[in-house]
Amino acid sequence: MKIFPENVSVYGDDIDFLFWLITIVAGLATLIVLFLVIYPVLTRKKHKAKENIYVKGEGFKQLKWIYLAIFVMAVADFSFLIIESDGWIKTQETLPEKDFHVAIVGKQWLWEIIYPGPDGKLYTSDDVKKFNTMIVPQDAVIHMDLTAYDVLHSVFIPHARFKFDCLPGRKITRWVEFTKSGEYPMVCAEMCGVGHSRMVGKVVVLPQEKFEKELAKIYKK
């Protein structure tokens, strides 16, 4: 059974690993809690209960179960922190040297893609604006400046295991590197109004040479 779309990102495996780690551990915890809630109810001896007692939960005999739960939670939390730190540092805290720079602006309800223009620099007068389709080179570090004009949006590229919020008034730079050329959907993952579901764009990943040709075409128009 295929749950995820194909991973075409250099850090996709880290994200997938983290997803399964959290899902399995949280799933097990849920099952244990459900068992502890449901089992006593099902096995209650109906006629033997005399009267209700009020359990204050004081004293070590009862408190030890709370301490145990806190201990297990703390160990799980810190273990997660340590296990995920590599992936976190790689995806969130480091910004590798860029090969291509592009800006993505969320707008009700489309994606505005700003290319740097012939001078290769963003935010200069030769920048080129396009809508919904973002072409990028394969095997290259792409810096994406994320922002929004109106409300919160969120760029979600499932194949790249990339998702990040676009906030009005703030520019956030994140990176991605595609390992395979092709066309991948880019959707909005933040409920941003009635047209939210129409906010579907795509990322077209091309081998370097082809990419440069396509980019030149965009700049000529």
Sole binder of Cu ion in the list 114, 136, 188, 215 (CB under 5 A): 188
Q: Which is nearer to Cu ion, 148 or 215 (CB)?
A: 148
The residue within the footprint of Cu ion, chosen from 114, 135, 186, 199 (CB under 5 A), is 199
Smallest separation (angstroms) from Cu ion to the CB of 154: 7
How many residues contact Cu ion, by CB under 5 A? 4
Of the candidate spans 39-47, 125-133, 196-204, 213-221, the one that interacts with Cu ion by CB under 5 A turns out to be 196-204
Calpha distance 92→141 (Å, rounded)? 14
Q: Residue 164 in contact with residue 142, Cβ under 8 Å? A: no
Q: Supply the minimum distance, in Å, between the C-beta of residue 155 and Cu ion.
A: 9
Q: How far is the CB of 205 from Cu ion (least distance, A)?
A: 22
For Cu ion, which is the closer residue by CB, 79 or 197? 197
Whether the link from the prior residue into 88 is cis, omega within 30° of 0, is: no
Q: Which is nearer to Cu ion, 144 or 192 (CB)?
A: 192
Taking the complex as a whole, how short is the minimal distance between the CB of residue 103 and Cu ion, in angstroms? 16
Dump the DSSP string for the chain. ---SPPP-BTTHHHHHHHHHHHHHHHHHHHHHHHHHHHHHHHT--TTT--S-------SHHHHHHHHHHHHHHHHHHHHHHHHHHHHHIIIII--PPPSEEEEEEEETTEEEEEE-TTTT-TTSTT-EEEESEEEEETTS-EEEEEEESSS-EEEEEGGGTEEEEE-BT--EEEEE-BSS-EEEEEEE-S--STTGGG-EEEEEEE-HHHHHHHHHHHHH-
**10, 142, 192, 205: residue in contact with Cu ion (rule CB under 5 A):** 192
Q: Residues 143-182 vs Cu ion: string with x where CB under 5 A?
A: ----------x-----------------------------
Contact indicator for 146, 215 with CB cutoff of 8 Å = no
Residue closer to Cu ion (CB basis): 104 or 192: 192
The stretch near Cu ion (CB under 5 A) out of 16-24, 34-42, 179-187, 189-197 is 189-197
- How near is the Cβ of 88 to Cu ion at its closest, in Å? 25
Q: In angstroms, give the least distance from the CB of 192 to Cu ion.
A: 3
**Interface residues with Cu ion (CB under 5 A)?**
153, 188, 192, 199
